[in-house]
Structure 1
Amino acid sequence: MENKIILFGASGHCKVVIDILKCNHINISTVVDDNPKTTTLLGIPVLHSDGFLQDGEQRVIVSIGDNAIRKKIVQRVGGNFYRAIHPQAIVSSFSTIGIGTVLMAGAIVNPDAIVGAHCIINTAAVVEHDCVLEDYVHLSPHVSLAGGVKVGEGTHVGIGACVIQGVSLGKWVTIGAGSVILKDVPDYAVVVGNPGRIIKSKK
């Protein structure tokens, strides 16, 4: 089992991660999940104890879409985290991709972009040149970040949202689906609309 990937979290997101790994001919040994009712996922056995991870040698991806829960599980599990990149993603050799991060099919990461650890760059999302994404960020399908955008830890950008060049999104921000972000967003804000407007704070 030491030469195979272990996935933590038997979610819909996990199904996509399984597909990415299979496209890369990488073996998956098991999925670990706290729900005792889930016994298999896409034909892969699901275990309900992570005690075998404590040796720190197993390669692990935390396959949970929720940013806050993913962070808690990463801190709980520890281990040798693995990144998964779909073969149809386009990733510049001049970019940096952090450990535990997953890039879906059609995702684009352009030169001098930095993507942190345990991020999700979902289907057909675009991270343009010189963007910086901190850890635990989730870009939903078809999100577009123009050049030089900065995204704080744990921020979730909803499906189809766009952020113009040079804008900074704070940490643990939520950007609603289809929003157009034209100016900086503070920490913990929830933003919706075109142009984006803050409707509440989660702090």
Structure 2
Amino acid sequence: MILQGGGEHARVVLDCLLAQGATVLALFDPKYSGTLFGVPQRGAYDRSFHPNALALVAIGDNGVRKRVVQNTVHGFTSAVHPSVIFSPFAELGAGSMILHGAIVQAQARIGNHVIVNTGARVDHDCVIGDYVHLAPGVILCGTVQIGEGAFIGAGATIIPGKKVGAWATVGAGAVVIEDVPDYGVAVGNPARVIKINKP
């Protein structure tokens, strides 16, 4: 397989893949060269490189990750670290990354190209849209819905049944007790929407 991305997030994803026993042929990122954990960094993405290899886009920024995915011709795979607790009754989309120590409970549905970062918890019946990033230590209680491209900051908690809209941002440590609208920015305990980012 191959990775798109060579920065900080890619290091964690590559570590995850190597822990799974995956064979990673190369990382592609125009900002990096040399090797990372023994894997060659080959600069800009080469659409013709090992065309049957599967790819992951290991970029933390949701918008950038979506753009890179849309320009990637390789098929996609997912990564689940061996330390993860992932219910056999949960669903995982293509290109998603479930990283060290995360927990995903029964009937949770994880979309495509999602990051469930270190130690995050996704409880039963949550629905996570495509291109979401759950930062380290996030807690989603049961039946939470997260819209496409939303970013949930480190240590944030969302109580049961609440919705966070598409491309919204929830600040680190926030406690969400009311729905957050599309493109909303919510911070604090309890979380308050302080602005709406224009699409």
- TM-score category (smaller protein): over 0.9
The match for 2:132 among 128, 137, 140 is: 137
Percent identity of paired positions between Structure 1 and Structure 2: 43
Shift of the 129–50 alpha-carbon distance from structure 1 to 2, 3 Å rule, reads: same
Q: 2:100 aligns with which of 96, 105, 123?
A: 105
- Please tell me whether residue 196 in structure 1 is matched to residue 174 in structure 2: no
2:13: which partner in 1?
17
CA contact (8 A) 1:54 1:79 kept: no
Partner of 1:200, secondary structure, is: strand
SS in 1 for 2:25: strand
Query: Secondary structure of 2:71's partner?
Result: helix
2:156 is equivalent to residue 165 of structure 1 = no
> The residue matched to 1:28 in structure 2 has which SS?
coil
TM-score for the superposition, normalised by structure 1? 0.94
Unaligned regions of 5+ residues in structure 1, if any?
none
Contact 1:91/1:109, CA 8 A, preserved across alignment: yes
Answering whether residue 179 of structure 2 is matched by residue 184 of structure 1, we say: yes
1:47 Cα offset (Å)? 1.1
109, 113, 136: which one pairs with 1:114?
Answer: 109
Deviations 1:37-73 (A, max 9, x none): 5332233211123234477522000000000000000
TM-score after normalising by structure 2 = 0.96
Cα distance in 2 for partners of 1:109, 1:53 equals 35
Match of 2:89? Answer: 94
CA contact (8 A) 2:47 2:72 kept: no
Q: Please tell me whether the aligned partners of residues 53 and 77 of structure 1 are also in contact (alpha carbons under 8 angstroms).
A: no
RMSD, aligned α-carbons? 1.3
CA distance in 1 between partners of 2:108 and 2:49 (Å) = 33
Question: Which whole-Å CA distance do the structure 1 matches of 2:40 and 2:158 have between them?
Answer: 40
How far 1:154 moved relative to its partner?
0.3
Question: Structure 1 counterpart of 2:150, which letter?
Answer: T
Shift of residue 105, structure 1, vs aligned partner: 1.2
Q: Partner amino acid for 2:11?
A: K
1:33 to 29, 34, 40: 29
Aligned mates of 2:192, 2:179 — CA distance in 1: 11
